[in-house]
Structure 1
């Protein structure tokens, strides 16, 4: 027994050292059965339709809610967190209406690739030392990282449903290593939100029907990233100049005052993605979009959905100088782009000009959703 305990402690020391070397600010261990409340909460989220068009969540409810269903051999789950905290309040850009606001996490290369490589290195060291088997997961697999991180003691799920850490605020990427090794679990973290409602009250689209509950269908991150179709009119003005995701609820968290900007993880934002001008983004064709966002999470949504978001920001900008680029996109091959270009133009030019263009556009447009966009402002 003493030898077994010694081996376990030695393995844990190795994991902690390798995690620090790889740039992870926090590492903790939990057991597969440590999130008993997760299945019911996830089922409620799906039954209420809060997942919107993210069908993969509904399709993987059972595997997502119970780690041992995903991999029956798992005995311990190692949760690792990487800090991506900004060095300023990211909401400052919301006042710069001629610029596009990209969520902090997407201002550098895709964190999935970055973290997965580092997790695999750590997992390899675990197998070399202890034998057995491991599996590495970063966000894309049906794993509930946030409840597991809470159970492991890294933080707690705040009222905005994201993980909050007393040491790092709301700015953490999460990854997990499932292992057949038996490791002593860490103690779970408790909720420190108290009576605070900052994250709930700051949401521009009222996406939180209650504390700890998120209706993704109203969330700007969902609308600009996961949603593949037109963004409902009721949300367009509220989106402002947010062209990929939204940091408002994260940035409003008071616990961020204890978080330092990411350093060891080397996740500083690309300069050209901090405050990109809408005038330049509106000119991107597919090749230019792919080149500009090479290695970035933004690339995953494709040029058409991205331009949909940029056009909404242009329409909200009040900058008539953008009207020329918007007019060009009225003839875009994508109905998604054409439709929102119409909406933006209606907000940037005099009504008489719009009415004239609508009369001409309706004669040639055969897409029903685009025709609705021409007719709505008339």
Structure 2
């Protein structure tokens, strides 16, 4: 029997499905909601596109619920209303993301070229049309690499301890401090490195100092993501390895970590994406420079977030265009790192 029919006959002639709204009703309700929103725009001083979408979605939800109650009953109307509310919420979450990406791409693509990627800002004034992000791109790559080198192994060891070994008060204390670090404002990490590493130890602002601040911000994200992924590894795999006489540490290295590696890589990329756009810690630790500095352990260094901050704060249009171009390249950089990490995780996955 076909399941697409509106009614199903049961013994005794009972209707098990009931009446349903025709498919043509939903486009009609949507068109009515848009038309009513247009009328409101004419009568009321409303000019925002976001308000248009919100009002149209609310009117569609109300119209669908009323029509569904009249035809299908309150139970199905509630189901349809909740489903529509979920889709509308998803749409509202996607619209800002698409709007931001479209704005950055449209404004940044006009400035990005080969010269923009291969030149620094040395001897370039705010009114000059030249200059590029080469020095900032080098600084960002080196600082992210150093922060990942410090944070990822340490965080993975902490997560392994919490899942495989941690019991009692010590484990709860570590989890508490990881939770505290998760909500730590980024500027506090920068202030800590400024006070301890630069002022107390009398070190100069360098890319290494910026990497230390980024490390503090990466640790809690990597620990929590790795911990959750390690918990998802079935205990049967561990017990099978123990039954074959494999030691605990070798089971963790050869079985547990490779099984959870795709999720761990995803957590690392989330942490990288977070620190790649941080500006406040870098303002306090690397100080910025317009020249190219390949050595993160000597002298001030620049970074893409710091470059965007400095260029966007200037009134000249050429500087603002450079900021848009740097923002686009920062997004592209994060996407490339994410793609590379997923490729590595796929190649390293247990088959």
Shorter-chain TM-score category?
under 0.3
User: Higher strand share goes to which structure?
Assistant: 1
TM-score when scaled to structure 1? 0.21
TM-score when scaled to structure 2? 0.22
User: Higher helix share goes to which structure?
Assistant: 2
Rg: which structure is higher?
Answer: 2
